Amino acid sequence: MAQATLTITLPDHVWIQQVSTANPDATFRVLAAVPGANTGFALVQITGSNVEQVLETMNDHPQLTEVTLTQRSDGEATVHFETTKPLLLFSSRNSGMPIELPVTIQDGRATVEVTGSRERLGELAAQFERLGLQYRIETVTEQLHDSQLLSDRQFEVLTAAVEQGYYDTPRRSSLTELADHLGIAKSTCSETLHRAEEAIIKQFLDRVPDTDPESPLEDQLVQS
């Protein structure tokens, strides 16, 4: 399973792009959302210094067929609405890839997190392109269970190393003492730890954000 964080640039003809760019200091957090047959319903929390202006614009926008204020306080409001242009919802529905909530939108850009197979991620990217949603991949990481990352023996030796203080500073256990504790040869203990450390370090580096927009990870993501 792959987990991706994307920044979506919303098209000019969509209400949320128009409202959020007209009020760049406002932050929209989509708390819940569900697509209908031709519309979408959502609950959004709006924060900022000009919430009243945002609400007035939403009430007057033709793409919002229903706007209901559910909570209001100084600098914050929560609104339930129906829209005829739920592009993110349609992209999620058509690709079979759930978008994790909340989704944050500010100044015409949405931050989206998704988790699924690379095939589904590729279909989601294709849906974005069909609907005119420009996107940038911020991170792509592979989600592995511990049982997939380390063998049972590697996990056992690594756990013992931590418990015995082998990784403490200063160390409370030497490699020889750790091997004696486990009842294995020192060379076997060293090699098993090295392989476990190699797997963990490589997984950690795979999670570091890739800053190159032309990286192979992006190519893998958009493949269908």
pLDDT in tens, 26-44: 999 999 999 988 999 999 9
The model's pLDDT over 82-106, given as tens digits with 9 standing for 90+, comes to: 999 999 999 999 999 999 999 999 9
In angstroms, the CA 184 to CA 104 distance is: 52
Model confidence pTM above 0.85: no
Residue 144 pLDDT: 55
Q: How far is Cα 189 from Cα 182, in angstroms, rounded to an integer? A: 8
- What's residue 222's pLDDT? 46
Alpha carbon of 122 to those of 97, 116, 134, 203: distances in Å?
10, 10, 14, 22
Residue 194, pLDDT above cutoff 70: yes
pLDDT at 17 over 50: yes
pLDDT classification of 212: cutoffs 50, 70, 90: low
Note whether 192 and 150 are within 8 A (CB): no
Lowest model confidence (mean pLDDT) among 105-109, 113-117, 200-204: 200-204
Helix, strand, coil tally for the chain in percent (to 5) = 40, 30, 30
**Position 25: which residue type?**
D
pLDDT (0 to 100) of residue 216: 41
Amino acid 45: pLDDT: 97
Q: What is the DSSP letter of 206?
A: H
pLDDT at 117 (0 to 100): 83
State yes or no: pLDDT of 157 exceeds 90: yes
pLDDT of 30:
97
DSSP state of 46: E
* Cα–Cα distance measured from residue 218 to residue 40, given in angstroms and rounded to the nearest whole number: 29
Whether residue 25 is predicted with pLDDT greater than 80 in this model: the reply is: yes
Question: What stretches of the chain adopt beta strand conformation (E)?
Answer: 2-9, 27-35, 40-47, 64-73, 76-83, 99-106, 109-116, 134-142
* Mean pLDDT, the chain, whole residue set: 88
User: Mean pLDDT throughout 112-139?
Assistant: 89
Task: Give the residue among 115, 102, 106 at the shortest CA–CA distance from 43.
Answer: 102
Give the residue among 54, 56, 120, 60 at the shortest CA–CA distance from 93: 120
95-101 contacts, C-beta under 8 A, 24 or more apart: 95/120, 95/123, 95/124, 95/126, 95/127, 96/120, 96/123, 97/121, 97/123, 97/124, 99/33, 101/30, 101/31, 101/32, 101/33
> What pLDDT is stored for residue 39 in this prediction?
95
Q: Is the pLDDT of residue 163 over 50?
A: yes
pLDDT band for position 219 (50/70/90)? low
> In the prediction, which pLDDT does 99 show?
93
